[in-house]
Amino acid sequence: GESVGLHLPTLSVQEGDNSIINCAYSNSASDYFIWYKQESGKGPQFIIDIRSNMDKRQGQRVTVLLNKTVKHLSLQIAATQPGDSAVYFCAETLSNAGGTSYGKLTFGQGTILTVHP
Amino acid sequence: NAGVTQTPKFQVLKTGQSMTLQCAQDMNHEYMSWYRQDPGMGLRLIHYSVGAGITDQGEVPNGYNVSRSTTEDFPLRLLSAAPSQTSVYFCASRRTSGPTDTQYFGPGTRLTVL
């Protein structure tokens, strides 16, 4: 079946650097994408989302970029901090006609981000 | 609000035993779901519910049953545990409407089947 995957399973950066985590998706029909952060021993936590009618969306220190042409998604974290160390998952889903998903997410494998002080 | 709560936090079962993983949310969310997370993998959807009395299968439903008698609770039942069900189980909830699809996840139940 179609799935979401990640290019890099691990990423190590120095505190203060910018981090970029990549994700490739294969289902061209997916129209809603989410990034989650999962700290050790905890459940995933929502970071930022983007719909397919957008190319870029910014949050606090995070930016998600969507390239529908090559089916690529990325998460940029500015001024990475040790507290950002976690596993990051991208997820995709297909909205219903009303633009609201039933939350049937397909998750990628995950990228481990390690931030060194 | 406590958010999404799960019990127990840890559980060890023997093959063939049955048990129920509890999940509750106090946010009045209509949608609830169960995922399992295996080492080195993302989460996979087991079952979900769009409201009380309504449930449906996800990607990996075999070996699991669910019911939704109230808005708040969504228990996951393992009828006859197998080693392949060793995993970390996450319950999640969200509103079915709204501009974003934010799901709130519980802390997880770590299950080991011997």
pLDDT tens-digit series, residues B84-107: 999 999 999 988 754 456 789 999
Residues A3, A90 contacting (CB under 8 angstroms):
no
**Chain A (65-94) residues lying within 8 Å, Cβ to Cβ, of chain B:** 89, 91, 93
Give the model's pLDDT for residue A102.
56
Is the pLDDT at A3 greater than 50? The verdict is no
Structure tokens at A47: 């970071």
What confidence category does residue A103 fall into, taking pLDDT thresholds of 50, 70 and 90?
A: low
Question: Coil, helix or strand for A46?
Answer: strand
Instruction: Identify the residue among B103, B109, B110 best suited for mutation to test binding to A, counting A beta carbons within 10 A and taking the highest.
Output: B103
Phi, psi of A2 (to 5 degrees): -75, 150
Task: Give CA–CA dist A21/A72, Å, rounded.
Answer: 11
C-alpha torsion sign, points A106, A64, A112, B100: negative
Strands (E), chain A: 4-5, 10-14, 19-25, 32-38, 45-51, 56-58, 62-67, 72-77, 86-93, 106-107, 111-116
Nearest C-alpha in B relative to A89: B42
For residues B57 and B64, is the Cβ–Cβ distance under 8 A? no
Rounded percentage of chain A residues whose pLDDT exceeds 90? 66
Whether residues A93 and B96 touch (CB distance < 8 A) is answered with: no
Record: contact A44-B97, CB cut-off 8 A:
no
Closest CA to A92 of A14, A11, A28: A28
Q: Give the pLDDT band of residue A109 (cuts 50, 70, 90).
A: confident
Identity at B100, one-letter amino acid code: T
Terminal-to-terminal C-alpha distance of chain B: 36
Which amino acid, one-letter code, is at A35?
A: W
Nearest to A16 by CA among A82, A77, A83, A80: A80
CA distance from start to end of chain A: 40
